[in-house]
Amino acid sequence: MSTSNMGICIWCRNRMVDVCLEKCQAEGRYRYLEPDDLESWEPGPRLPPFRELMDLPAHERLALIYLSAYYSEQD
């Protein structure tokens, strides 16, 4: 699992439960990605620089953009 993958999984409330281990991680396309609730002091994830973002596989890129948009709406 790449460091980008782990960065995505950290923000998912499904991490380390059945849906994560049996379906999402095995598939590797984040179809079960559900953003976790953040504490009031906790910042959301930051997008990598554009050049790095474009080098990622499409499913990782989409997951990072989705997480960034989701958490920016929560502010």
Q: What is the pLDDT of residue 75?
A: 65
Least confident range from 40-44, 55-59, 60-64: namely 40-44
pLDDT tens string 58-74: 999 999 999 999 999 87
- Residue 4, pLDDT > 70, answer no
Dihedral of alpha carbons 12, 18, 21, 24, sign: negative
Alpha carbons 50 and 29: distance in angstroms, whole number: 21
Return the closest-CA partner of residue 55 out of 12, 9, 2.
2
Residue-by-residue DSSP string for 25-57: HHHTS-TT--BPPPPTT-----PPPHHHHHHS-
Tell me if residue 73 falls in helix, strand or coil.
helix
